[in-house]
Amino acid sequence: MRMALASHIVSGLGWIFAGLSAAGSIYTVMAAVLVLCFFDTERRPPKDDAEASASHETVSLLKPLNGEEAGLRQNLAAHFSQNLHNPLQIVFGVQRSDDPAADVARALMTHFPDIPSHLCVGDRAGIPNRKIANLIQMAPSASGAILVLSDSDIRPPPDHLSRVIAALDAPGVGVVTCPYVGAGEAGVWSELAGMGISYQFLPNVIAGVSLGMATPCMGSTIGLRRETLERVGGFEAFGAVLADDYALGAAVRGLGLTSVVAPSLVAHQCTETTLGALFRHELRWARTIKGVDPWGHVGSLLTHPLPLGLIAALLMRFAAPALIVLVIAVVARFLLAAAIDRSAGRRGRLLWLLPLRDVLSFTVFVGSFLGRAVEWRGKKFHVTTDGDLSPV
């Protein structure tokens, strides 16, 4: 009797997971269509640099640095080679004078003497968010009326800044961000990290924006006017916040201004060389997202159709209905990957790893609910219910 009851429960759970997988496959195909529509209709090159930006205000690009990660020189050099009509100033920031990233910045400043640039060295002790501490130190050296922030692992196309400034010039816009794909340059683990960004994170962002369900603000790029930053309290207002990018965007929207996602696709250079480094990094992202949008994070369960289908197949002992659902999930995921690669203008690499990547993503998703601790730049923090950082 008990065995029969247990068998019915397991079978019922199998059908539940099969249903979730089927719903997830439908979402995945819809996301592929939305991705193609977003970049095919929106990502058109500006007629020329002058028309891309209605103003001639100076743009200060802020690049907080920490260590010489793989591809750093190429990432930073791409910012010196922007097709931008506005005057451009680049401000680098490191917290220690012996940081090897400082040597990379100095070499590029010498190599591109026509672009005004400055290197800030210093630290703001007592600020848990080290990137924000760096930006606070850098801000006084920025002379532009327009500020653009981007992480050190971002590599933009030549027209990137012109698109950001053009979007910022639109009436009522207070902050501009942009989507990004992952690029692995440090072996198989960095490739898997890049696939997670490209085939899991990016389509969810595009779908959320296209359906009016998300207003992201991401470290890939944040463009805003200096007066807007001052109105929300400057960088100092975000010194203890883990999701500083999202919090900055929310603060700007709180002023009655809008945030937009510019149709400029940049590359996030992934540098993870071990499974542990990859898992810790993605777990921090997942717990950050959970802190910002807990119910949305729960709903993202449907973005994992392949692992859900695999669980259904195991529970249903690989019965035909479960296998059909699993095959559909695999096909849907590969269709989405093809749409992403087409939009990014590249050929997918190591796509045979996509099922493994999906299982890893699901593991991170489950792990995000099993604690609040995160590791960032080698230091451990506890994330409070408000999304703030508390050093461990």
Q: Which of 38-47, 93-102, 167-176, 285-294 is the least confident region?
A: 38-47
**Cα 279 to Cα 5: distance, rounded to the nearest angstrom:** 38
Distance from CA of residue 65 to its chain's centroid?
A: 17
Q: Is 297 a residue whose pLDDT tops 90?
A: no
Q: Cα–Cα–Cα angle for 370, 17, 198, nearest 5°?
A: 65
Count how many Cα atoms sit within 13 Å of the Cα of residue 160 in the half-sphere of its side chain: 27
Residue the block writes with tokens 């949008």: 293
Which pLDDT does position 41 carry in this prediction?
Answer: 55
Cα dist. 229→39, 169, 237, 362 in Å? 29, 16, 10, 37
Give the chain's mean pLDDT: 86
What confidence category does residue 329 fall into, taking pLDDT thresholds of 50, 70 and 90?
very high
Residue range 98-153, pLDDT digits in tens:
889 999 999 999 999 999 999 999 877 777 788 898 999 999 999 999 999 999 98
Residue 40, pLDDT score: 76
User: What is the DSSP pairing of strand 373-376 with strand 379-383?
Assistant: antiparallel
Please compute, for residue 146, the number of CA atoms within 13 A of its CA located in the half-sphere on the CB side: 27
The per-residue pLDDT for 378 is: 58
Q: How confident is the model at residue 381 (pLDDT cuts 50, 70, 90)?
A: low
pLDDT of residue 52: 45
Contact between 105 and 72 (Cβ < 8 Å): no
Burial bucket for residue 230 (CB in 10 Å: 0-12, 13-18, 19+): exposed
Q: What is the pLDDT of residues 228-286, one digit of tens each?
A: 999 999 999 998 887 889 899 999 999 999 999 988 899 998 888 889 888 988 888 88
- Give residue limits of the domains in the chain: 2-40+288-391, 46-277
Separation CA 86–CA 83 (nearest Å): 9
> Smallest Cα–Cα separation from 246: which of 181, 197, 175, 195?
175
**What is the CB neighbour count within 10 angstroms for residue 378?**
7
pLDDT band at 75 (very low <50, low <70, confident <90, very high): very high
Q: How many CA atoms lie within 13 A of 197 on its CB side?
A: 27
Tell me which residue has tokens 């230091």: 379
DSSP run (H or E) holding 227: helix 226-231
Res. 376: pLDDT tops 70: no
pLDDT higher than threshold 70 for residue 313: yes
Roughly how many angstroms between the first and final C-alpha of the chain, as a whole number?
50
Structure tokens at 389: 């950082």
Query: Are residues 352 and 190 in contact, defined by beta-carbon separation less than 8 angstroms?
Result: no
Residue with tokens 């409070």: 384
pLDDT at 70: 77
Q: 């992202």: which residue's tokens?
A: 285
Q: What is the CATH number of domain 46-277?
A: 3.90.550.10
- Tokens standing for 103? 């040597």
Is the CB of residue 95 less than 8 Å from the CB of residue 130? yes
Strand order in the sheet with 266-270: 154-155, 266-270, 180-184
Q: How does DSSP classify residue 213?
A: -
Query: What is the distance between the alpha carbons of residues 368 and 107, in angstroms, rounded to a whole number?
Result: 40
Cα 134–137–139 angle (5° rounding)? Answer: 105
More confident of the two residues 270 and 88: 88
The C-alpha angle 344, 349, 351, rounded to 5 degrees, equals 105
- Rounded-to-integer distance, Cα 384 and Cα 390, Å: 7
User: Average of pLDDT values for 68-87?
Assistant: 89
Round to whole Å and give the CA distance between 200 and 181. Answer: 10
